């Protein structure tokens, strides 16, 4: 697994650790075979992302737009796209995937929600995916 995170997202080390653990959890749970890449990015255009995320069919690569999104929402997108990766690996993807509805999207949406909940319950401290970033408050 290769995880690429844009520095401009300013994730705390604990958030990066949780993200890495979650991605490996997804890879084991789905299961995903072989090498794959996940990009967490603060910009859509250079990565070809039209909405919040994409999976590159045949390339074992997920790209997720993360700017101004809660970590749990970002990770749900990761799980959604990794479900498409699993679908691709077992030969379920033939041609384009519908943008909304249909087997592929419905399975990816359901599996993503399930994986988030299972991960949060799997070990102490993992419920932190639901927490916001701590921000320093300036007082005058």
Cis omega before residue 31 (within 30°)? yes
Buried b (16+ CB within 10 A) or exposed e, 84-93: bbbbbbeeeb
Q: Looking at the predicted structure, is the pLDDT value of residue 127 above 90?
A: yes
pLDDT digits (tens, 9 = 90+) for 52-82: 999 999 999 999 999 999 999 999 999 999 9
Helix 71-89 vs helix 102-122: crossing angle, to nearest 10? 130
pLDDT digits (tens, 9 = 90+) for 89-112: 999 998 767 677 789 999 999 999
Q: Is 111 helix (H, G, I), strand (E, B) or coil?
A: helix
Residue 140 has pLDDT above 80, yes or no: no
Check pLDDT > 50 for residue 125. yes
> pLDDT averaged over the chain?
92
The pLDDT score that the predictor gives to residue 139 is 42
């Amino acid at each position: 697994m290769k995880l690429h995170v844009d520095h401009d997202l300013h994730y705390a080390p604990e958030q990066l650790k949780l993200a890495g653990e979650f991605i490996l959890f997804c890879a084991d749970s789905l299961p995903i075979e072989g090498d794959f890449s996940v990009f967490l990015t603060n910009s859509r255009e250079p990565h070809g992302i039209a909405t919040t995320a994409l999976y590159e069919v045949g390339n074992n690569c997920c790209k997720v737009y993360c700017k101004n999104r809660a970590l749990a929402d970002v990770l749900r997108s990761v799980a959604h796209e990794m479900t498409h990766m699993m679908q691709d690996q077992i030969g379920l993807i033939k041609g384009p995937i519908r943008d909304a509805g249909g087997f592929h999207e419905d399975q990816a949406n359901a599996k993503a929600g399930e994986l988030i909940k299972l991960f949060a319950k799997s070990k102490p401290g993992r419920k932190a995916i639901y927490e916001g970033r701590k921000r320093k408050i300036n007082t005058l």
